[in-house]
Amino acid sequence: MSVPTIQSKLPNIGETIFTVMSSLAVEYKAINLGQGFPDYPMSDELISLVNFHMKKGHNQYVHMNGLPLLRKVIAEKVCRLYKQQIDPEEEITVTPGGTYAIYTALTTVLKPGDEVIVFEPAYDSYIPNIEINGAVPILIPLTLPDYKIDWVEVKKQITPKTRMIMLNSPHNPTGSVLRPEDLAKLEELVIETNIFIVSDEVYEHLIFDGIQHESILKYPELYKRSFVCFSFGKVFHCTGWKLGYCIAPPALMKEFRKVHQFNCFSCNSPMQFAVADFLREEESYNSVGIFLQKKRDLFLHLMQQTRFKPIPSHGSYFQLYSFSELSDESERDLAIRLTKDYGVATIPTSAFYKNSKDDKVLRFCFAKKDETLEEAVNRLNKL
């Protein structure tokens, strides 16, 4: 009897470096500065609110598009921060995490043969999400040492097949952020085109040094063609909740919801009630950047003891460090050696390039307890 076989839709995807490094971290009891999740507790108040709403009976399906109260609170927050009026009924959908929102936005728009501009290094879900829809990623490297977008190169790469541009700010893995001049350049390029934008803004409140987050939502002409994706997990230190949302103009959101309704009928109910209550307190998100900047600054200070050289990070959970003056090893080899021999797990930045471009740079997550960071640097200082 014959056995059916699968023709892979992602034939070039195997075990990811994140799986490899996490497994090694467990095996060698290493401090995991690789994956982007905190090791400190989330808000007791938010936990209590979830418990309160569970006991109150808010445990059944809420609306497919998200709890109406939560969408209303999100719209109020957007108006407060970005001076943009958003219709909570027509323009906001709650999703099981930011990555899901990104995938759904891509699937809503893309058809086989479409081209999508992606800036590398790039969050690792982008390219597989594009390819599984039959589209083609057009890869443009961010310019070193600050990982900025070369808008002249972007203009050269736009063709009649260009259907979408992927943005991410604050940026994973580099911690770079978009500035007003970047959004102005983008608007110049797309204003008379049929190009859509997916803006990954899951780290919107994890931004440092007095810099303002330049959300697509602040730019009406760009927003008209955009899907803007967010994450509660990143903002409230609860990545395992997998709760986020997408904001898009009504016509785009209508199509987004057609895809969404058959993949995730409804997201976690008591958590939506809890976040709706918690989000009303501006301090719940305004304090996050200050808190994480202290972590970044501590890590920068501690790492001065080592021979790693920092690359500026102005947002996210992450700080890149160059080891070009330290070792001739590949990023992957050094990351594995650090885990096995020194008990600190990192992520090679080459993992965020399709061609595994190796600049001798590692990504460290500093969203950890102070004592975790201190012990990690003590170990790295032995290198």
Max Cα distance, the chain (Å): 66
Q: pLDDT at position 179, please?
A: 97
| Contact of 166 with 118, CB cutoff 8 Å | yes
Lowest mean pLDDT among 3-17, 52-66, 137-151: 3-17
Mean pLDDT of 170-196: 97
Domains of the chain: 17-42+286-380 (3.90.1150.10), 60-282 (3.40.640.10)
Cα four-point dihedral sign 144, 350, 230, 252: positive
CA 289/CA 38 separation, integer angstroms: 14
CA 203/CA 199 separation, integer angstroms: 11
Q: Residue 145: which pLDDT band, with cuts at 50, 70 and 90?
A: confident
Question: Quick one: tokens of 260?
Answer: 């969404």
pLDDT digits (tens, 9 = 90+) for 317-355: 999 999 999 999 999 999 999 999 999 999 999 999 999
Question: Quick one: tokens of 38?
Answer: 């905190």
Q: pLDDT at position 377, please?
A: 98
Q: pLDDT at position 17, please?
A: 84
pLDDT digits (tens, 9 = 90+) for 211-220: 999 999 999 9
- In this structure, which long-range contacts are made by residues 70-75, counting pairs with CB atoms below 8 Å and at least 24 apart in sequence? 70/94, 70/272, 70/273, 70/275, 70/276, 70/279, 71/245, 72/276, 73/276, 73/279, 73/280, 74/245, 74/247, 74/279
Q: pLDDT at position 18, please?
A: 85
pLDDT digits (tens, 9 = 90+) for 75-96: 999 999 999 999 999 999 999 9
- End-to-end CA separation in angstroms for the chain: 57
pTM: 0.96
Mean pLDDT of 284-293: 95
Beta strands of 187-243 (E only): which ranges? Answer: 196-200, 226-231
CA 231/CA 244 separation, integer angstroms: 4
The secondary structure of residue 341, as a DSSP letter, is I
The secondary structure of residue 218, as a DSSP letter, is G
Mean pLDDT of 134-138: 98
| Contact of 245 with 257, CB cutoff 8 Å | no
175: left (phi over 0), alpha (psi -120 to 50) or beta: left
pLDDT digits (tens, 9 = 90+) for 212-271: 999 999 999 999 999 999 999 999 999 999 999 999 999 999 999 999 999 998 999 999
Q: pLDDT at position 116, please?
A: 98
Residue 159 has pLDDT above 90, yes or no: yes
Residue 308 has pLDDT above 80, yes or no: yes
Residue type, position 249, single letter = P
Q: Residue 364: which pLDDT band, with cuts at 50, 70 and 90?
A: very high
CA 368/CA 33 separation, integer angstroms: 8
Residue 195 has pLDDT above 90, yes or no: yes
Q: pLDDT at position 12, please?
A: 84
* DSSP code string of 267-327: --HHHHHHHHHHTTSTHHHHTHHHHHHHHHHHHHHHHTTSS-EEE---BSSEEEEE-TTT-
Mean pLDDT of 159-188: 98
Q: pLDDT at position 370, please?
A: 98
Tell the residue number behind the tokens 């009303």, with chain if given.
280
Local structure of 154: helix, strand or coil: helix
Mean pLDDT of 118-127: 96
Residue 3 has pLDDT above 90, yes or no: no
Q: pLDDT at position 24, please?
A: 94
Cα four-point dihedral sign 291, 296, 300, 306: positive
Please choose, from the candidates 283, 346, 343, the residue with its C-alpha nearest in 3D space to the C-alpha of residue 319. 346
Name the percent of the chain lying above pLDDT 90.
Answer: 93
Q: pLDDT at position 109, please?
A: 98
CA 241/CA 318 separation, integer angstroms: 20
